[in-house]
Amino acid sequence: MSLKRNADSTDETSHVYCLPALTQTQAMTLQERLAHWRKQASQIERQIAEHRREIDDVVFNLYEIKGVDRQAIEGALGEASTAVSSDGEERAETESAGEATALLDGGVLVTDLLSYTVGCVFGRWDARIALDPSLAPELADPFAPLPVCPPGMLVGPDGLPAIRDGIASEEWMRARPDAITPPPAGSVQSPTIPDPEYPLVVDWDGILVDDSDHPDDVVRRVRGVLELLWGRRADAIEGEACDLLGVKDLRTYFRNPRQFFEHHIKRHSKSRRKAPIYWLLQSPKRNYGLWLYYHRLDPDILFKALTSYVEPKIRLEESRLEDFEARRKSAGTAGREARQAERAVAKQEELLADLREFRDRLDRAARLHLRPDLNDGVALNTAPLHELMPQPWKEAKSKWNELLAGKYDWSSIGKQLREKGMV
């Protein structure tokens, strides 16, 4: 059980997640870290296989099952066997084997690393643990209750996910006996720290943007985490990560919905249950986008996105269009400079049309005034955003149509739509 828990500590969907695999070694390059992790993972798998064989031997000997009878049973079990993860969830053996193979793939491991950086920016994971793994809490006994929060989560002094001005101090972290037990009463003098003392600026509003001009730009903020973890080597690590992912740069990786977003959907899907927690909202021509964090949803998040991100962006680009038009006017009607100025104006007008369409779609969703309810689940909460979510996530449109047809009448959003006369 402890071996499986150690392996699951690198899986961000696990109850025992702590750090991505590529942060759990001090090797200089990502390639060296990949080699180290593959070797370690192979050793764990061999040990688990050996323990399984030992258990099988004990059981078969206990029931005096030998020879062809044992072979028949092992053959039947091999076809329908299941693997049990450390959080108690059963999975088909073939599915488990496929996942194990994928988790050794360089591109998958790099994506997991970048997913971790996004989680750090959103305040989901505690970047201090990557800097000092001794801050991670010990796991409780394997048969103890599961932790409310994974060991790698950024928490407050109540042991629950941290909130603004409520980040647990390192003193509190070192004083807790394990991941499910708080420090003894009165043992911690300063249980929290001011937000400015945390090594990263946390995006408490749950919104990141695909916009190089904005301080909350997803690429800029991811690079901030890489700089925190790797210092002067951050640029080299970023370049190596892009090479392993087969992309030109991080902007391409986060902007193309078939890259990070699709991987995130797959990572947070199990059988028929799909539950991505980082949502990509994107303009029709992909010139602009927002990333929303599911666990920071509130009734005003779409209006905050409009007023703090989208509308200022449109005003900025309108100002740039005025500058381009002035240059076109001064360039005259003929010559190379005039042609360049004309192309610049046309390109800027196309960008603005894309941004305005994105704004209008987001405004329509916001003006529904629907209150998100996490108890409804991910798919239903994405439904009002169906005009904004790119192709890899088809659930939003299908759930929206089903909601308007009267399905899911038990849900909070279904009740709200009926109250508004939309069903």
Alpha carbon 373 to chain centroid, angstroms:
20
Mean pLDDT score, 321-330: 91
Written as one letter, the residue type at 370 is L
pLDDT in tens, 222-275: 999 999 999 999 999 999 999 999 999 999 999 999 999 999 999 999 877 889
Residue 17 resides in a domain = yes
| Beta carbons of 188 and 171 less than 8 angstroms apart | yes
Mean per-residue pLDDT, 267-288: 93
* Confidence category of residue 64, pLDDT binned at 50, 70, 90: confident
CA angle 75, 80, 84 (to 5 degrees): 115
Residue 7 near residue 99, CB atoms below 8 Å: no
Residue 140 lies in a domain: no
| Most confident of the ranges 19-28, 64-73, 80-89, 325-334 | 19-28
Whether residue 229 is found in the same domain as residue 99? no
**Mean pLDDT calculated for residue range 136-151:** 87
Please indicate, yes or no, if residue 258 is contained in any of the structural domains.
yes
| Pair 366, 252 in one domain | yes
Q: Is 224 found in the same domain as 89? A: no
Which pLDDT score, from 0 to 100, does residue 9 have? 86
Rounded CA-CA distance 58/61 in Å is 5
Q: Which of 11, 29, 24, 12 is nearest to 238 (CA)?
A: 29
Whether 150 is covered by a domain: the verdict is no
3-state secondary structure labels for all residues of 192-228: EECHHHCCCCCCCCCEEEECCCCCCEHHHHHHHHHHH
CB 352 within 8 A of CB 360: no
Average pLDDT score over residue span 344-351: 96
Residue 109 within any structural domain of the chain:
no
Q: What is the pLDDT of residue 179?
A: 92
- What is the band of 62 on the pLDDT scale with cuts at 50, 70, 90? confident
**Residue 170: inside a domain, yes or no?**
no
Q: Do 250 and 384 reside in the same domain of the chain? A: yes
Do residues 211 and 99 both lie within one domain?
A: no
The Cα 186–Cα 231 span in angstroms is 37
Please tell me the predicted confidence (pLDDT) of residue 104. Answer: 66
| Range list of β-strands (E), 211-324 | 269-270, 273-274, 278-282, 289-293
End residue of a domain, out of 50, 74, 104: 104
The residue segments making up the domain with residue 311 are 207-419
Q: What is the pLDDT of residue 91?
A: 44
> pLDDT grade, residue 103 (50/70/90)?
low
Q: What is the DSSP letter of 122?
A: T
Domains in the chain: how many in total?
2
Residue 122 has pLDDT above 50, yes or no: yes
Is 200 domain-assigned? no
Q: CB–CB of 38/21 below 8 Å?
A: no
Tokens of 15: 């109850």
pLDDT band at 214 (very low <50, low <70, confident <90, very high): very high
- Same-domain status, 266 and 398: yes
From 79, 104, 129, the end of a domain falls on 104
Locate 394 and state its tokens.
């088809």
Q: Which of 85, 104, 123 is the last residue of a domain?
A: 104
pLDDT at residue 331, rounded to an integer: 80
Both 212 and 324 in one domain: the answer is yes
Question: Nearest Cα to 37, choosing from 113, 95, 91, 92?
Answer: 113
Residues 95 and 215 in one domain: no
Centre a 10 Å sphere on the Cβ of residue 309 and count the other Cβ atoms it contains: 20
Residue 175 lies in a domain: no
Count other C-beta atoms under 10 Å from residue 86's C-beta: 21
Please indicate whether residue 331 or residue 82 has the higher confidence score (pLDDT): 331
More confident residue, 40 or 385: 385
Which pLDDT belongs to residue 97? 43
> 356 and 232: one domain?
yes
Is this structure's pTM higher than 0.85?
yes
Same domain, 287 and 402: yes
Tell me the two tokens of residue 247.
Answer: 């992309």
